[in-house]
Chains A and B, each alone.
Chain A
Amino acid sequence: MTPLLERVQNSRNVLGLIFMMPAALLLLLFLTYPLGLGVWLGFTDTKIGRAGQWIGLENYIFLMGDSVTQLALFNTMFYTTVASVLKFFLGLWLALLLNKNLAFKSFFRAVILLPFIVPTALSAIAFWWIFDSQFSIISWALVKMGWIDTYIDFLGSPWNARFSTLAANVWRGVPFVAITLLAGLQTISPSYYEASAIDGATPWQQFWHVTLPLLTPIIAVTMTFSVLFTFTDFQLIYVLTRGGPLNATHLMATLSFQRAISGGALGEGAAIAIAMVPFLLAAILFSYFGLQRRTWQQGGSDK
């Protein structure tokens, strides 16, 4: 018995190793190694085409005093916070609307996800055209309605540009939040609503005391992903403003691209990218505790 058991155990491990091989090799070479390399590059003065020297924390010290980096950090925080809050409320609202008994429900659901599946770079180009300073359709409509006199320079001044890029980001992110929260809503058993209705709960009380607590775990995970996507956003800004005007819309990701690839300072760019990691870790831990809460809520100890 023992040798047989041992052989099965053995072949399992060997077979497991063989099966893991393609994925593991690729991820080690193109994910783990670059991640380490990125950390190392952040401590060097590497330029494109020239190997760097170890310079310790010099990049980070320089970046801390660099006003553009400070602005990019502020922009990233602002962009992430405002966009995530808007995506959450609009997404939840949309999910609640879609969760009702509607005609053509699956059609609505399918159509709503379109902004999420279409390449962001391409929809960003459509927004670029919508935000054009001379031919913007929004300005045209507002002028025709008599609300404004002159065309709005959506991407030309710092705060206008910030809010315009935010709007495009929210446009792209709401469908994701709505559809995942809708999936969460659909797992809530109707009997809770029946029971609370018998007890005389108003729709608002039902939402506050039944829907929201049961939805909290999926909200935590969805919003963590949403925050991750938003914080590391690159395409939208790159296409719409390239960080301008006056660096007003530069995010950490676009700034690191500008410094590393356009400017050739690989080390400095890598340092900017690595500086994003603590924030990402915070988001992941947030999700972790959200998940913990779920297991606890369902009365299970562990998977």
Chain B
Amino acid sequence: MSKDTQDNVGMSYLDSNANKVFKTYLPLLLFIFVLLFPFYWMGITAFKPDNELLSRDGNPFWIIAPTLAHIEKLLFRTAYPQWMWNTILVSVTATFFSLFASVLAAYAIERLRFKGAKHTGLAIFLAYLVPPSILFIPLASVVFQLGLFDTRLALILTYPTFLIPFCTWLLMGYFRSIPFELEECAMIDGATRWEILVKIILPLSVPGLISAGIFAFTLSWNEFIYALTFVSSSEVKTVPVGVVTELVEGDVYHWGALMAGALLGSLPVAFIYSFFVEYYISGMTGSVKE
């Protein structure tokens, strides 16, 4: 193996355009097609009339006569608007409460460095690794004992069990990057810890707060197993649970309405995500680092 041939291989790989299309764009487009196809299919089914849905003739990838019947059914003949409202209420409340608790906890662990702060930080990380699917059975019995079964409050109080560890962990990383000197200056000027937190740390960690908030919101919006277990009345259900448990009636599946429900339930998170992509990605990668 001479050095020249090796060089040639390297250069041709970098330079050839045809090669780049073949090795990069083609697989990438294939990935994108597979990753996005279910959403396309969701969308197209939601507007397709039943007779087109249930025929094997024609081109299923397109709609001949689009209809709003499925959406109309969803909005006016099911409890969907109520589920939507529940999901918004639960997600927003749980997110804000978790952010509040996490800011305080992260500041205490990272900056107050109270006795045992290091161990508390580790405990928070371990809490973050406890999966809801091993917690939901005993948690159901706790929720029941507290008389919270079948209420939105049950969800608002239990979602922070996975939101707080995540947000605290993320915010600890952000607070760590803020120089100590800023706090020391403020302290010399006579600021209290609370003033430092509110007037110096929080304004500097707005990106971190947005990351944590967006992530927490989508996590609560997507939560399924707690909402499935702790709630049984239709009026209290969240969108994912409502769609799965109530729109499926017997053996006749109303695919149009189901897909419309899935589509409408996905749009809010997709919409928010589209505005905060960078924050979301930095939150996700930040949670894996450290």
Residues of A within 8 A of B (CB): 12-13, 15-17, 19-24, 26-27, 29-31, 33-35, 37-38, 41, 46, 90, 93-94, 97-98, 100, 102, 106, 108-115, 117-123, 125-127, 129-130, 132, 135, 137, 140, 171, 174-176, 179-180, 183, 197, 200-203, 218, 221-222, 225, 228-229, 232-235, 238-239, 253, 256-257, 260-261, 266, 269-270, 273-274, 276-277, 280, 284
Contact = CB atoms under 8 A, between A and B. Distances in A.
B160 A114 contact: no
Contact of A38 (B7, B24, B104, B134): B134
B54 interface: yes
17 contacts: A15-B108, A16-B114, A20-B108, A22-B97, A26-B160, A31-B135, A31-B161, A111-B36, A126-B259, A130-B38, A140-B56, A200-B10, A235-B240, A238-B224, A261-B140, A273-B135, A274-B134
A122 B243 contact: yes
A37 B222 CA distance: 26
Given A118-B39, A122-B265, 13 more contacts: A16-B113, A17-B114, A22-B105, A24-B105, A118-B222, A121-B241, A129-B255, A130-B38, A197-B10, A238-B224, A257-B225, A261-B140, A273-B134
B165 interface: yes
A45 B105 CA distance: 38
Max chain B C-beta neighbours (<10 A), residue from A30, A98, A123? A30
Interface of B: 3, 6-7, 9-10, 13, 24-25, 27-28, 31-32, 34-36, 38-39, 41-42, 45, 53-54, 56, 60-61, 97, 100-102, 104-105, 107-109, 112-115, 117, 120, 124, 127, 129-142, 157-158, 160-161, 164-165, 168, 193, 218, 221-222, 224-225, 228-229, 239-241, 243-244, 253, 255, 258-259, 261-262, 265-266, 269-270, 273-274, 277, 280-281, 284-285, 288-289
Contacts of A21: 104
Nearest to A97: B28
B114 A93 contact: no
Contact of A20 (B120, B157, B259, B262): B120
Given A113-B280, A117-B218, A179-B281, A26 B133 contact: no
A273 B141 CA distance: 15
B53 to A, nearest CB: 7
Contacts of A113: 273, 277, 280-281
B245 to A, nearest CB: 10
A123 B227 CA distance: 17
B288 A222 contact: yes
Contacts of B224: 119-121, 234-235, 238
A129 B263 CA distance: 13
A220 to B, nearest CB: 10
The A contact surface, by secondary structure, is helix
Contacts of A118: 39, 222, 266, 269-270
A137 B38 CA distance: 11
Contacts of B53: 135
A277 B126 CA distance: 13
A129 B39 contact: no
A183 B53 CA distance: 42
